């Protein structure tokens, strides 16, 4: 484990050393494994500091599908901009949406959405116009580990290096089809490492939140 933080290079080496595998396919897959580990940890930590807002996509009249932003890890909320105003959509299951609006040819302003696939949102009723889609989501941090900068670290790699290593190692064991080791490490990750990392980061980030021992905020006066 690094004294301060992982770099891409040191994490890459550690993931080779742990299973003692020099398999060419495994080594070639390590950049993907590290990326998947980062996505897993961002999703599992579920911190608001990773939230982003995106209004780049728009609905297509006659189509119920909208692409998620490429850096989306998990959706928080979805809404439309209708006549210049934000209109929140309510989350439902895909089957519920199909039952609510069985005829895709009937157009209107969407009211509900479902997460159809990893990269698509499903809207009902079928959009009758091109509405900007406002998405609030958990996104990957801007500073992820990269083979293009092998000696650089990242926010996750410096704050919670043990949790990042565990998340990457689970992806590695899954790739190697080492089900027994994957199960053992998944249990340790979810029961021991992740709760501690989440608590430490939230305690650090939310140090300015109110508590019974702090005075209530007073509005500034000019």
Predicted confidence (pLDDT) per residue in 24-67, tens digit: 888 899 999 999 999 999 999 888 888 999 888 899 999 999 99
pLDDT confidence tier of residue 94, bands split at 50, 70 and 90: very high
Q: Do residues 107 and 128 lie in contact, with contact meaning Cβ atoms separated by under 8 Å? A: yes
Q: What is the pLDDT of residue 154?
A: 92
More confident residue, 179 or 1: 179
Q: What is the pTM of this model?
A: 0.73
More confident residue, 1 or 29: 29
Measured between its terminal Cα atoms, the distance across the chain in Å is: 52
Q: What mean pLDDT, rounded, does the chain reach?
A: 87
Mean pLDDT within 136-142: 89
Nearest Cα residue to 88 out of 113, 107, 67: 113
Mapping DSSP to helix (H, G, I), strand (E, B) and coil, where does residue 72 land?
Answer: strand
The enclosing H or E element of 15 equals: helix 8-17
Q: CA dihedral defined by 28, 147, 4, 21, rounded to 10 degrees?
A: 10
Give φ, ψ of 170 to 5 degrees: -60, -40
pLDDT confidence tier of residue 188, bands split at 50, 70 and 90: confident
Q: What is the pLDDT of residue 205?
A: 56
């Amino acid at each position: 484990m690094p004294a301060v933080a992982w770099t891409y290079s040191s994490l890459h080496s550690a993931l080779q050393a742990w299973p003692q595998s020099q398999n060419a396919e495994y080594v070639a897959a390590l950049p993907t494994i590290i990326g998947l580990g980062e996505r897993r940890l961002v999703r599992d930590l579920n911190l608001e500091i990773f939230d982003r807002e995106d209004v780049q996509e728009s609905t297509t009249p006659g189509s119920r599908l909208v692409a998620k932003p490429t850096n989306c890890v998990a959706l928080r909320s979805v809404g439309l901009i209708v006549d210049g105003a934000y209109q929140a959509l309510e989350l439902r299951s895909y089957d519920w949406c199909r039952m609510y609006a069985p005829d895709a040819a009937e157009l209107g302003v969407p009211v509900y959405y479902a997460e159809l696939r990893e990269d698509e949102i499903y809207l009902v009723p079928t959009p009758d116009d091109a509405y900007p889609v406002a998405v609030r989501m958990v996104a990957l941090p801007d500073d992820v580990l990269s083979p293009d900068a092998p000696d650089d670290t990242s926010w996750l790699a410096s704050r919670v290096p043990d949790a990042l290593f565990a998340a990457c190692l689970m992806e590695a064991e899954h790739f190697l089809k080492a089900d027994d080791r994957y199960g053992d490490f998944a249990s340790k990750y979810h029961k021991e490492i992740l709760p501690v990392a989440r608590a430490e980061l939230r305690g650090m980030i939310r140090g300015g939140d109110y508590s019974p021992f702090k005075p209530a905020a007073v509005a500034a006066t000019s």
